[in-house]
Amino acid sequence: MSQHALDGAPLLEVKDLAVAFHTPRGTFRAIRNASLTVHRGELVGLVGESGCGKSTLAFAVMGYLPDTADVGGSLRFEGNEISKMSDAELCELRGNRIAMVYQDPATSLTPTMRVGAQIQEVLREHLRMDAERARERTVELFESVRLADPAAVGMRFPHELSGGQQQRVVIAMALACDPDLLIMDEPTTGLDVTTEATILDLVADLKTRVNAGILYVSHNLGVIARVADRVSVMYAGQTIEEADVRDLFKNPRHPYTAGLLSCVPKPLGASGAVTKLSAIPGSVYPAGEGDVEACLFADRCPSVQDACREQAPPMALTDVGSSSRCLFWAGVRPGMWGADEEREEALPTNGAEPVLTAKSIRRFYGSWKRKYLFFGPRVQPPVRAVTDVDFTVGRGRTLGIVGESGSGKTTVARAVVGLVPLTGGENQLHGEALARNVDDRTRGQQAAMRMVFQNPTASLNPKMPVRHAILRSLKKFTSLNSRERRERAVELMEAVGLSADYLSRRPGELSGGQQQRVALAGAFAGSADVIVADEAVSALDVSVQAQVLNLLKAHQREEGVSYIFISHDLAVVRYVSDDILVLYAGHVAECGPADSVLAAPSHPYTEALLSAAPVPDPDAEPTRIRLEGAVPTLREAFKGCFFAGRCPRKIGSVCDEKPPPARTGPGSAEHVIYCHIPVDELAEMQQPGADPVDATSASSR
């Protein structure tokens, strides 16, 4: 715990908070009994599965709950009860003394106003600054969140900024009035790993620089380990454990916390083996159920006893100084969710013909524009989203595709399944060329390739029961009759861990994790040879994510299906992938077996991605490789290396003038690195203890 946390009264004190929403369908208890404190200069992490009440607690602190909410308990800011403040007092408090950063920065910014004007509006409203001083202060704020060329950024509209830049603008807006308390609700969930690392660096710096208290809501335990001083864990609307960040990760004292930690992909073992993920069975105790005199986690707990079902456990002080809402916290131990076991490996290729082959595929958007619309010289080329990408996917194997936003990952996925036509190159399924457009492919080819999208809500018809999506796939891609299709739909739902009752529910009645499982059941319906999963688990909390990942691996072992798995979470990609393709600006930076790609030596871009990935260990020393700027939107072909403009290992003009050669990495003839630096030199540079590098030095080398 930080020294600031030991001095004086709490900045924020939440005590026995209860929030219930009264609706025509009944009463929903979003928060049942939550208590936590935040001191000045301290960052408190708030973690738990979706539906546990984390965001509701944050909105309660801001006074944003609707009139239908029934609030009990106490919410005090500097000793003053927030729930008893008038509208005028709340207006003065928000933005001025307490500020909030939301998960989606696009919803926090007005799309029709320049971002600088939006910051200036806050300054004039709360601090009564004149126009000139507000403009100067806006530039200072943009500089404080490390936005390059802050004066120019202020003149842009939100859509002209990347996701990371938008999030930094929102943080600058939150800091405009030097708030005493900053609430951050999943501020990095939708960001790629390099942008996330930059934002986390900023958060860690803000904690000490502005001396504010920070409440950081997240389901990413690696992020919490990186930035938090203390952690509160919520389950079913209750705070069930509170501890110093190191005690929580090293010595959890509640079975639920231990379960969350067991769901996080672990580092490679000494043998290079991947440890199978544990998963918490079932789902969160429903908010629609009433309070009971029992532990709400009892039905999911691996060490439940009779006493757990007979009395509600109070928060109790543990032997490591933490607090736990468990009657038997002393029995919480490593391995209680199952001993570590190695994940079963994929089927060997043994020289067999690959299921899917991509040969020099290209996808350009737009066409050459002429100076005078239909005639004159050509002045603007199309956007080169994907350029000459090659890969193969073997039977029963998984190809992971990684890279920052804008690298071409989703374009490759959509080109493979035929949702966007190729500009050049060819896809082959079982050695047979595929038509570039999905509508021109045979029924068998369509059935053999399915796609699971990032947002399951957008993939399901909100007005139809979820059985519609599954039965439609079965009708289109199988020869089953009506009765057999219904029976098969039940089997598929059970295969993804859902009962047949869910078939009659609409998407809005399901959680995000349940919707994603329905989407997977639909993908499994046609007995596909290849399933393309595009960020299929990025928005899921760790417990549901573990269930979905284990489900994918089990289905692969049973059916021999192959996957193309796209994600910005490198730990997840390593867990599911047998081979990895690293993309940058539509070009292949590196490819090969997963063990080789994710270990030194690797391409400098892969090295930067690995450096930026948060590790679920508070004692892990973060590396300092950070990439400034964004992936270029490419129109003209690169003259030299596609990564030269941001490379922290740039060796000189050769990187700008010549395309990089393909170099074979050690340990596997299939490991290819496209870089001017010889592999043995890359290996020496990337050894632990080697001098750190910084992307800002690239231009001077």
Ordered DSSP codes for 417-430: HTSS--SEEEEEET
Paired tokens of 489: 């739909």
CA distances from 358 to 54, 355, 409, 534, 574 (A): 44, 10, 14, 17, 22
> Contact, 394 vs 561, CB < 8 A?
no
Helix axis angle, 163-175 relative to 115-127, nearest 10°? 10
pTM score of the predicted model: 0.84
pLDDT at 699: 40
Pinpoint the alpha helices (H) of 19-114.
54-62, 87-93
HSE-up of residue 194 (Cα within 13 Å, Cβ side): 23
pLDDT at 315: 96
Domains and CATH numbers, the chain: 3-97+177-337 (3.40.50.300), 108-176 (no CATH), 354-396+417-569 (3.40.50.300), 583-697 (no CATH)
pLDDT at 7: 52
Report the distance separating Cα 701 and Cα 692, nearest Å.
Answer: 15
CA distances from 422 to 358, 361, 677 (A): 11, 7, 32
Reduce the secondary structure of 663-691 to three states and give it as a string.
Answer: EECCCCCCCEEECCCCHHHHHHHCCCCCC
Paired tokens of 618: 């508070």
41 phi and psi angles, rounded to 5 deg? 80, 15
Q: Which residues contact 69 (CB under 8 A, 6 or more apart)?
A: 19, 20, 21
> Contact, 438 vs 431, CB < 8 A?
no
Query: One-letter amino acid identity for 134?
Result: A
- Average pLDDT of each block of 10 consecutive residues along the chain (701 residues)? 56 95 87 95 93 90 88 93 86 85 83 94 90 93 83 90 82 87 85 81 79 89 92 96 96 95 73 74 87 94 95 94 95 85 64 86 79 64 88 94 89 93 94 94 91 80 90 88 92 82 86 79 86 84 84 86 91 91 95 90 93 86 76 81 93 94 89 95 83 48 43
pLDDT at 175: 85
Angle (CA) 169 171 172, round 5° = 60
pLDDT at 399: 96
Query: One-letter amino acid identity for 481?
Result: N
pLDDT at 700: 41
pLDDT at 681: 93
Query: One-letter amino acid identity for 514?
Result: Q
Report the distance separating Cα 685 and Cα 606, nearest Å.
Answer: 13
